[in-house]
Amino acid sequence: MDFIRTDIPDVVICKPKVFGDHRGYFTETFRKDVLEEFLGYRVNFCQDNESRSSYGVLRGMHYQMPPFTQTKLVRVIEGRVLDVAVDIRKGSPYYGKSVVVELNETEKNQLFIPRGFAHGFVVLSETATFAYKCDNFYAPEYDSGFLFNDSFLEIDWQIPLEDLILSEKDKNQPLFSEAEKFDFSKKLYEKYISNGR
């Protein structure tokens, strides 16, 4: 597995090695020890999720507030998606900035998104199967989010607005300026990302 830091260094592209021949392919999609060595802190994933969506389905922007903040490792099993992570850490030099990466079944790249970021994606292919690991359990009472097309964020979703398919919840999320945020104080943020290491 190779790792590439993005323009927001805490968000990391993970590139697995894919071995293929006439039978198909094999790839190692997760190695806890290798990832932790690169990051320099522990990640204890405890829940796996999977969704299947059609072209134009947009899910986002979502996150959970403390004490149920989540680190995510996201990937595409089938199809193509545009994946987006937005820094919601008040005081961060990257606050309000985003990382936008295409994930697809061919390259099999993944995106590591630490606590303190909102996440969303839109399906670019006819269908897509999307999977991700979380290091905290789903807790709906701590669920939060903001509007995917808030002009402040300047995210190009690469899909015409009229083609987008959203839940009622995601259509009615607050603006980024009105949504709950994280505190970027060093002590608190280290607690968020390290699970109390």
pLDDT tens digit sequence for 10-36: 999 999 999 999 999 999 999 999 999
Integer angstrom CA distances of residue 179 from 15, 61, 63, 92, 123? 32, 11, 11, 16, 25
Catalytic annotation, pick one of 63, 94, 119, 132: 132
DSSP state of 172: T
Q: Residue 87: helix, strand or coil by DSSP?
A: strand
Strands (DSSP E) found in 10-134:
12-15, 18-21, 24-27, 47-54, 58-64, 72-78, 80-87, 89-90, 98-104, 110-113, 117-123, 127-134
Of the listed 62, 94, 119, 192, which one is catalytic?
A: 62
Query: In the chain, what are the domain boundaries?
Result: 44-194
Mean pLDDT score across all residues of the chain: 94
Q: Report the distance separating Cα 27 and Cα 20, nearest Å.
A: 9
- Assess whether 62 carries a catalytic annotation: yes
State how far the alpha carbon of 119 is from the alpha carbons of 6, 33, 114, in Å: 15, 24, 10
> pTM of this prediction?
0.93
Give catalytic status of residue 132 as yes or no: yes
Question: Do the bridges between strand 182-183 and strand 89-90 make them parallel or antiparallel, or are there none, so unpaired?
Answer: parallel
Q: List per-residue pLDDT tens for the chain, 197 residues long.
A: 999 999 999 999 999 999 999 999 999 999 999 999 999 999 999 999 999 999 999 999 999 999 999 999 999 999 999 999 999 999 999 999 999 999 999 999 999 999 999 999 999 999 999 999 999 999 999 999 999 999 999 999 999 999 999 999 999 999 999 999 988 765 555 655 555 44
Question: What fold characterizes domain 44-194?
Answer: Jelly Rolls (2.60.120)
